[in-house]
Structure 1
Amino acid sequence: MSCKVSASVLSADMLNLKAEIDKLCSSGVDMLHFDVMDGVFVNNITFGLPVLEQVRKASDITLDVHLMITDPLKYIGAFADAGADIITFHAESESNISETIKAIKDHGVKASLSVRPSTPVEVVYPYLNELDMVLIMTVEPGFGGQSFIPETLEKIRLLKKTISEIGCCTDIEVDGGINDKTAVLVKEAGANILVSGSYLFTAEKMRDAVNKIKDETRC
Structure 2
Amino acid sequence: MVKPKIAPSMLSSDFANLASEAERMLRCGADWLHMDIMDGYVGYSGSRHIWIATSWSQILLITVEPLGKAGASGFTFHVEASKDNWKELVQLIKSKGMTPGVSLKPGTPIEDVYPLLEDENPVELVLVMTVEPGFGGQKFMPEMMDKVRTLRKKYPSLDIEVDGGLGPSTIDMAASAGANCIVAGSSVFGASDPAQVITLLRKSVEDSQKTN
In 2, Cα distance between the equivalents of 1:20 and 1:11? Answer: 10
Q: Is the 8 A contact 2:53 2:133 kept in 1?
A: no
Question: 1:158 aligned to 150, 169, 172, which one?
Answer: 150
In 2, Cα distance between the equivalents of 1:77 and 1:19? Answer: 24
Identity among equivalent pairs (%): 38
1:136-151 maps to which residues of 2 (within 5 A)? 136-151=128-143
Name the stretch that deviates more: 110-119 or 66-75: 66-75
**Is 2:36 the partner of 1:46?**
no
1:132 positional shift? 1.4
1:2 positional shift? 2.8
Please name the residue that 2:106 is paired with.
Answer: 117
Please name the residue that 1:15 is paired with.
Answer: 16
Q: Residues 126-156 of structure 1: CA distance to partner in whole angstroms, max 9, x if unpaired? A: 2214111110001000111000011100000
SS at match of 1:89: strand
Q: Is the 8 A contact 1:73 1:99 kept in 2?
A: no
Runs of 4+ in 1 over 4 A off after TM superposition: none
The structure with the greater share of residues assigned to strand is 1
For 1:138, the aligned partner's letter is T
In 2, Cα distance between the equivalents of 1:182 and 1:2? Answer: 19
1:67 positional shift? 4.8
SS at match of 2:174: helix
1:105 positional shift? 1.2
In 2, Cα distance between the equivalents of 1:127 and 1:21? Answer: 31
Q: Residues 189-213 of structure 1: CA distance to partner in whole angstroms, max 9, x if unpaired? A: 1110000000001111111111111
Name the stretch that deviates more: 26-35 or 98-107: 98-107
**Is 2:133 the partner of 1:133?**
no
RMSD: 1.5
Please name the residue that 1:85 is paired with.
Answer: 73
Name the stretch that deviates more: 111-120 or 12-21: 12-21
SS at match of 2:123: coil
Name the stretch that deviates more: 27-36 or 180-189: 180-189
TM-score, scaled to structure 1: 0.85
In 1, Cα distance between the equivalents of 2:123 and 2:56? Answer: 20
TM-score, scaled to structure 2: 0.87
1:1-80 maps to which residues of 2 (within 5 A)? 1-44=2-45, 45-47=49-51, 67-71=53-57, 72-80=60-68
Q: Residues 170-204 of structure 1: CA distance to partner in whole angstroms, max 9, x if unpaired? A: 20011000001211111111110000000001111
Please name the residue that 2:161 is paired with.
Answer: 173
In 1, Cα distance between the equivalents of 2:16 and 2:72? Answer: 22
Please name the residue that 2:197 is paired with.
Answer: 209
1:73 positional shift? 2.7
Q: How many residues align?
A: 197
Q: Residues 15-44 of structure 1: CA distance to partner in whole angstroms, max 9, x if unpaired? A: 222221222111111110000011222122
Structure 2: tracts of 5 or more residues without a match = none
SS at match of 1:180: coil
In 1, Cα distance between the equivalents of 2:178 and 2:112? Answer: 18
